[in-house]
Amino acid sequence: MILLSLTPVVVVVEASASSLRLPRPYSVFSYTTTCRRLRSIPFPSLECSCLNTNPTSELEEEKEEEEKVGLSVLGSEIPWEDNNVWSTFALYMFCLHIPLSFGGLSLLSRFLHLPLLLPQSQVLSLVLLQMLELSLTLFLLTITAKPQFKSIHFLNAANSTQEEGRNWLVGSALGFATLVSFIFLTSLVAHQLFPSQDVRNSELNKIIESGEVSRLGCFALYCLVAPFLEEIVYRRFLLTSLASTMEWSKALVISSLVFAASHFSAVDFVQLFGIGCVLGGCYSWSGNLASSVVVHSLYNALTLLLALRS
């Protein structure tokens, strides 16, 4: 019989136990596990030194966003659906603008059974027609907006990423100076190529010189109602919508072309296109429609003043 002696086994066990170095309690957890558990502790005072916070990357991201903004602060979120922009504009053009701005006086003279309206009656009628067009345009843009944009701030582009230091008054001053310089240079060329423009100015002079009521009516029409109406349609609606789906420069060119074409004047097309670019630039730079409205109003006021003194 073979006796199984336990002594050697005990010795071996004791020797192995004495030679083993048991790990410390906290070393049982791996480094990654410890970090994860420290991160999950709901105490703000306990922080893990392994957390990587890189403030320079955040600054770089902010700089990249500023570079993307560039000259335009218009955002990508707009109050109107992208696929309904041109249909809404066509509805405005053919149902409101053309019937009221170009056919309104004829309809009014027929309604009053008068073959020709007096200058004062023409001006006052145009003011009323433009105010009607403005009201219907605001209603159209409101009912075609997205459900979350039923209350639209038409002056301030709430979707813009406005930057500090972009004052709309500064934009208006720069825009007006640029516009006057552009009109002065192009008028020198246009006067030589299209002398018939003097005939249109003489007709405007007759209306202005017909009385105080006509002058006040022209001021209300060209310096208040018309600038606000056109800036809402061509800058606040059209330019903002196009800039959300394409590059800002392309949207500016397209909206300015539409603005010039909607006046139906081949002689003034180049100047109207330049005016649209300047007004669109003022609005896009500041994100405030008041900038382009002020420039538009000042330009029309200057035109009326020159027509009155000529």
Q: Would 18 be classed as within a structural domain? A: no
Residue 155: which domain range? 79-200+209-309
Other C-beta atoms within 10 Å of 133: how many?
A: 21
- Specify whether the CB–CB gap between 74 and 157 falls below 8 A: yes
User: φ and ψ at 48, to 5 degrees?
Assistant: -95, 130
Q: Would 8 be classed as within a structural domain? A: no
> pTM higher than 0.85, yes or no?
no
**pLDDT value of position 299:** 96
**pLDDT value of position 160:** 53
Distance CA 127, CA 11 (A): 113
Q: Would 169 be classed as within a structural domain? A: yes
Q: Would 139 be classed as within a structural domain? A: yes
**pLDDT value of position 147:** 86
Which DSSP string do the residues of 179-228 spell out, in sequence order?
HHHHHHHHHHHHHHH-TTHHHHHHHHHHHHTT-HHHHHHHHHIIIIIHHH
Beta bridge partners of 80: 145
**pLDDT value of position 61:** 52
Q: Would 294 be classed as within a structural domain? A: yes
Residue in 220, 262, 270, 222 with CA at minimum distance from that of residue 238: 262
Q: Would 72 be classed as within a structural domain? A: no
**pLDDT value of position 32:** 47
**pLDDT value of position 185:** 93
**pLDDT value of position 19:** 43
The one-digit pLDDT tens for each residue of the chain (310 residues) are 444 444 444 433 344 444 444 444 444 344 444 444 444 555 444 444 444 445 555 555 555 544 445 788 888 888 899 899 999 999 999 999 999 999 888 888 887 777 677 888 889 999 999 999 999 999 999 999 988 876 777 776 645 555 555 889 999 999 999 999 999 999 888 778 766 555 556 677 788 888 888 999 999 999 999 999 999 999 999 999 999 999 999 999 999 999 999 999 888 899 999 999 999 999 999 989 999 999 999 999 999 998 888 7
Q: Would 254 be classed as within a structural domain? A: yes
Give the position of tokens 């972009």: 166
Distance CA 147, CA 299 (A): 36
The total of structural domains in the chain comes to 1
Q: Would 37 be classed as within a structural domain? A: no
- Specify whether the CB–CB gap between 276 and 234 falls below 8 A: yes
**pLDDT value of position 31:** 42
Q: Positive or negative CA dihedral for 279, 280, 284, 290?
A: positive
